[in-house]
Amino acid sequence: MSDASRLLGLEGLAVQRVDSDAFGGRVVHVVTADESASACPGCGVLSVTLKGLACTRPRDIPYGTTRLRLIWHKRRWRCKEQLCPRASFTESLPAVRARSRLTTRFRAELGSAVAEQQRCVSEAAAHYGASWPIVHNAFVEHVRVPLAAPLPEVKVLGMDETRRGKPVWAQNLHTQRWELVHDRWHTGFVDAAGTGGLLAQIEGRSAAATIAWLNAQPASWRAGITHVTIDLSASYAKAAREALPNAVLVADRFHLVALGNDMLTGVRQRVIRETEGRRGRKTDPAWAARRRLLTGHERLRPDSFAKMWNSLIDSGDAGVLILQAYTVKEELRSLLSLAGTNPERHIIRTHLDSFYQRAAATDAPEVHRLAATIEAWWPAIEAGILTGYSNSRSEGYNRLAKHQGRNAFGFRNPVNQRRRIRWACTRKYRRASAVKTTMPG
């Protein structure tokens, strides 16, 4: 191979000459320099009978700031094998596959631009001067094998939903009824305690859809799951109990704190409406302290806490009721803060009894509903405190999913959306796998 061929970097092609076009670009004329190109694709026998000449113009990676155009002067051969169905064929090489308008490395560059550089398809298509379908197909080919690999072993499985967009409805031609084609929700399955990332996404957030995906996985993989972390979703709880009966259900602590804050906000809003006959205003002590009420006690400065407490005490019975709800919320936070400290069960029970006593001492129905929720979900809540597991990984991947949607300016195809999201949410696992395969021994 000549020096010019080596500089071009296309195996099996030799540079014949280089011209300049009228737009300041380079036109590179190449010829075949590999004898294996004359092998019939049907039978593999080398042909020696020339049928004619052909000329193709495959697209290649841009060279610097100037446009580079390839013109491949190739030959068309006849296949003389009697049993071969091919009568004739044109030369092809691994660097430029048959019937391809792109070189192999250019197609790989397009796929890498979307997959590895996190560029949207339309932006990569405009940069490289290719069409949207070509860039998208290159991305699909780039991620097809890694995403089709078997799922890694998972000990703690996280399940959570994320909104994918608007629902899509279509009218059934037979029944004339409108049916849901694409749900507005996606359910994600996450390795909540490892590096497996986002394992899969399915359409919908019902128990039936979740159970169907879990049952489709190998029994050995499901048997390795010891815990399932969820928010307070009855659908996911039902799916975990039916499809993973040996796994321990864990309730996420973040959502429990959010329930406590929602309870306190509901009490504050109801009290102001009942006492003032209107919504809260900045002159109301409860409304002025609304942010401090939702802030953890340990995060408030002593003077800020004293100001909030005294102003609500001075406002009368309404302020006292709000402070009672505040203490219930703080007792719940104190109970949940035991997670990760390897607490003994009697310590957990002591904090739980303190929470129930605070809740029973107030007449607010919002507080009683919160206590009933804690009682109903207590086995899953206690498992979260004892193990320290949470569903934070799922929430983090939901943020990445939304970022991918903004990066792509929205998705119309749910399959493309799930593919892009899962590729973005398995980067850490792929890097760890690559390091593991390259380590000696």
Domain ranges of the chain: 1-101, 103-149, 156-252+391-431, 253-387
- The pLDDT value recorded for residue 64 is 72
Nearest 5°: phi and psi at 201? Answer: -130, 140
Nearest 5°: phi and psi at 161? Answer: -105, 155
Q: Which of 414, 437, 352 is nearest to 168 (CA)?
A: 414
**Strand 13-20 to 178-182 pairing:** unpaired
Task: Report the largest interatomic distance among the alpha carbons of the chain, rounded to a whole angstrom.
Answer: 103
Tell me the C-alpha distance between 32 and 34, whole Å: 6
Whether domain 156-252+391-431 has CATH 3.30.420.10: yes
- The pLDDT value recorded for residue 3 is 53
- What percent of the chain clears pLDDT 70, i.e. is strictly above it? 97
Give the mean pLDDT of 120-145.
93
In this prediction, residue 1 has a pLDDT band, given cuts at 50, 70 and 90, of very low
- The pLDDT value recorded for residue 34 is 87
Task: Inform me whether the pLDDT recorded for 197 exceeds 50.
Answer: yes
Task: Inform me whether the pLDDT recorded for 432 exceeds 80.
Answer: no
Task: Inform me whether the pLDDT recorded for 25 exceeds 80.
Answer: no
- The pLDDT value recorded for residue 297 is 93
Residue written as token pair 């070189």? 103
Tell me the C-alpha distance between 423 and 140, whole Å: 10
As given in the structure block, the two tokens for residue 130 are 């290719």
- The pLDDT value recorded for residue 5 is 52
Greater model confidence, 98 or 236: 236
Give the mean pLDDT of 130-135.
94
In this prediction, residue 7 has a pLDDT band, given cuts at 50, 70 and 90, of low
pTM: 0.85
Greater model confidence, 110 or 118: 110
In this prediction, residue 82 has a pLDDT band, given cuts at 50, 70 and 90, of confident
Tens digit of pLDDT for each residue in 164-195? 888 888 898 888 899 888 888 999 999 999 88
- What percent of the chain clears pLDDT 90, i.e. is strictly above it? 68
Give the mean pLDDT of 393-417.
90
> Coil, helix or strand for 438?
helix
- The pLDDT value recorded for residue 334 is 96
Task: Inform me whether the pLDDT recorded for 81 exceeds 80.
Answer: yes
Tens digit of pLDDT for each residue in 243-296? 999 999 999 999 999 999 999 999 999 999 999 899 989 889 999 999 999 999
Greater model confidence, 92 or 158: 158
Tell me the C-alpha distance between 318 and 323, whole Å: 9
